[in-house]
Amino acid sequence: MASDAQNSNALIEVKGLKTHFFLDEGTVQAVNGVSFSIDRHKTLCVVGESGCGKSVTARSILQIVDHPGRIVEGQILYHGDAAHNSAGGEVIDLAALNPRGKEIRSIRGKDISMIFQEPMTSLSPIHTVGNQITEAILLHTEMTQEEADARAVELLRRVGIPKPEDRLKAYPFQLSGGMRQRVMIAMALSCNPVLLIADEPTTAVDVTTQAQILELLDELKAELGMAILLITHDLGVVAETADDVVVMYLGQVVERGDVDSIFHAPQHPYTQALMRSIPKLGVSRHLQRLDSIRGMVPDPYNRPNGCMFGPRCEHFMPGRCDAADPPTIQLATNREVKCFLYEDEANSGSSKFTPAER
């Protein structure tokens, strides 16, 4: 995941994205200046605690942010490929499109599709599985109903649903949680997207089904050559599936880099705290005490001054961390961190970023 200036393989470039919700109680800055890129054929995992803006970021890419939220600033640059998608080889700023307009609707569900977090509420209870899968196929292709039905059966078989011809006529409530999740995957893949956004795709399923779904997504990624934006709070999932990682906290990206760097040399205090909370294999549960991050995620209406993580940070510097928003420091080609701890070293040109010594 190279920097924007050097990354010629980017499929999506998010630059300074701000998505706010304007409520009677005040304005919630759900996404507040987020920047990252998604490379073609790669998996980018977005991690962080609940309420950090992961899902809103994903919905912003597709322009499906619920009212009263809207994108107020920033760019979402989609680098089209004339051979495979609707953008026709052009660079389109998705953030500038009308959320109900024809252009974004030609991209949504075809070039970029999404697996939503909870399939029981995302699937219509009054339409059959076949109706819901073929809807996008009929909208974005010139297939007949018969051809679309055949495509739906093929997709259900591909995602591991037995007797797909029968399931085509079933309603979501007649399926198990794992099967509903597989139906969501089939719907998302119906038009061979170049980017699949998966929002907590394994949240409501058991560990066996979780492993099957992750393996399926990895196989489909290789088979179809698509990129994946995977949103999760499960660091085990990240370690298994990610190429690159974005760590978010309270609507901001606090660290980003390749998966090996994030796991073996986390730089931001928040990322370090997340890593310390992972159970360690080979250590007796009687001897192992999991670390927790002190404090709570701040109220969105009462955001702290300066660094958003400051009140919970072990390295908090009074008069500095609470006086200004930390800059984003470029540590290396594929590494960025938003923290004052590295500002002096970055200004001096030092490359000795060793969080373990701090």
The pair of three-digit structure tokens given for residue 110, joined into one six-digit string = 């075809």
What are the C-alpha distances in Å from 164 to residues 111, 151, 234? 25, 11, 31
Residues 12 and 88 in one domain: yes
pLDDT for 356: 41
pLDDT for 159: 86
pLDDT for 358: 40
The pair of three-digit structure tokens given for residue 357, joined into one six-digit string = 């010594």
pLDDT for 282: 59
Per the structure, how many domains does the chain have? Answer: 2
pTM of the model: 0.87
pLDDT for 236: 85
What are the C-alpha distances in Å from 116 to residues 41, 155, 230, 297, 321? 21, 18, 11, 24, 36
277 is a domain residue: yes
> What CATH number does residue 30 fall under?
3.40.50.300
Domain ranges, residue 165:
121-192
Residues 16 and 100 in one domain: yes
pLDDT for 131: 93
Residues found in the chain:
358
pLDDT for 87: 55
pLDDT for 160: 85
Distance CA 347, CA 206 (A): 48
pLDDT for 88: 57
314 is a domain residue: no
12 is a domain residue: yes
Residues 42 and 188 in one domain: no
pLDDT for 325: 92
The radius of gyration of the chain from alpha carbons, rounded to an integer in Å, stands at: 21
Q: In the 8-state DSSP scheme, what is residue 88? A: T
The pair of three-digit structure tokens given for residue 186, joined into one six-digit string = 């089939």
Residues 84 and 186 in one domain: no
pLDDT for 334: 83
Residues 102 and 136 in one domain: no
End residue of a domain, out of 192, 214, 242: 192
pLDDT for 104: 93
Pairing of strands 195-199, 69-79: unpaired
End residue of a domain, out of 304, 322, 342: 304
Residues 160 and 187 in one domain: yes
Distance CA 217, CA 91 (A): 27
SS3 285: coil
Count of other CB atoms within 10 angstroms of residue 188:
25
Q: Which residues of the chain have pLDDT under 50?
A: 1-6, 351-358
pLDDT for 62: 94
